[in-house]
Amino acid sequence: MDFSYLDDWMEEEAGLEPVDEAGEGYRNVWVAAEAAQGILLPATLQTMGQARDLADQIGVYVYGVLLGEEVRDLGESLFAYGADKVLVAEDPALAEYQPEVYARIYGDLVEQHRPEILLVPATCLGNDLAPRLAQRLNTGLISHCIRLEVDLSERLLLGTFPVLGGEVYHTAACPQARPQMATLEPDRFRAPYPDAYRSGTATMVDLSLTENSSGLTWTMSEAALPEGGRAFVSPAVDMSQARVVVSAGRGMGDADGFALVKQLAQALDGEIAGSRGAYDEGWIAEEQIVGVGGAFIAPDLYIACGISGDVYHYFGLQEAKFVVAINSDEKAPIMKLANIAVVGDACQVIPAMLEALRQ
């Protein structure tokens, strides 16, 4: 019998490329940690919490990666927040953020260790670095996620992010390329409690940094203000942690009206915030703006005085537990979504409330 056809078939079989399944050889969840002024940023801790959850679901380890100058101790504190392994790269040249150097170091580390998922907090640094790194690794990036989950059947990271000013959520995945990258919006996830029993030793990354001539020169100074910009004052209390927030909008009329809002905030022991209109009027600082491009807050009580409450504003207070709106315009959008909508002039209602609070 002629079995030559078998030889042909075997040859053909041998010549076949091995099936390269997506994600083959890629394991573990990484967090690009960020520290400033000697502490890990809250956004980094929140990202660690998410990384731990995802890693537990797919049964892999969590790696924390930290770059900087003398950051070893900080890196090792990541263990308490859920890291199983910590990679630290220390060099005086990393004291200031350099996009090219950071992208190169992360790129090399990723190629060497092949993480399956790489999470980056969507801070100024993260938003600058993550897309550059994704392009370098030729992989996809899901930006500004407010929810992360895993599709266990395909072992895919699904990231949900707001589009159209928060009116619609899109959920996307990166099915082929690895690692799967996502940036996480700050203050949308809960930071884990540190577990003091978890500790470990960071693995130091051997850097062979060459002279970088095209690097950025940073000057951090109070004087660094864009023309027409206002000084940035750190809030006494982190807005995202405030329990009671009293917020002013253009409807307060003038500075006297805004003074009433201040008094109300004082009487309730709360923080002052406002809409973009209040910022434009010069009543509040930029970090007190609530909404898209400003603060996302989750107070127990939010009182909106003279704010019409467009979607951009509402998006910042979706997590508020109880909303009181005081507005003379009955048809203002915020009146529809407040738990108590007071139809009336805020300049008259607030003094009356102050009086009622004194009783």
Range 265-294, binding other proteins (CB under 8 A): 268, 287, 293
Q: Does residue 56 touch other proteins according to CB under 8 A?
A: no
For other proteins, the closer of residues 160 and 203 by Cβ is 160
Residue 257's nearest CA partner among 346, 352, 151 is 346
- As measured in angstroms, the least distance from the Cβ of 355 to other proteins is 7
Q: Residue 18 is which amino acid?
A: P
Binders in 249-268 for other proteins, by CB under 8 A: 268
| Choice from 100, 111, 195, 329 touching other proteins (CB under 8 A) | 100
Query: Is residue 174 close enough to count as binding other proteins by CB under 8 A?
Result: yes
Quick one: residue 45, left, alpha or beta (phi over 0 = left, psi -120 to 50 = alpha)? Answer: alpha
Residues contacting other proteins: total by CB under 8 A: 92
Is 167 a binder of other proteins (CB under 8 A)? yes
Per CB under 8 A, contacts with other proteins among 206-225 are: 213-222, 224-225
Residue 17 token pair: 């490329």
Q: In this structure, is the dihedral angle defined by the CA atoms of residues 253, 258, 260 and 261, taken in order, positive or negative?
A: positive
- Bridge partners of 204, per DSSP, are 88
Q: How far is the CB of 353 from other proteins (least distance, A)?
A: 4
- Between CA 83 and CA 151 the distance in angstroms is 22
Binding mask of the shown chain, residues 104 to 143, with x at each position contacting other proteins by CB under 8 A:
-------------------xx--xxxxxxxxxx-xxxxxx
Q: Are 273 and 265 a contacting pair, CB within 8 Å?
A: no
User: DSSP 3-state assignment of 333?
Assistant: helix
Give residues 337-356 in contact with other proteins (rule: CB under 8 A): 337-345, 348-353, 355-356
3-state secondary structure of 301: strand
36 vs 95, beta carbon nearer other proteins? 36
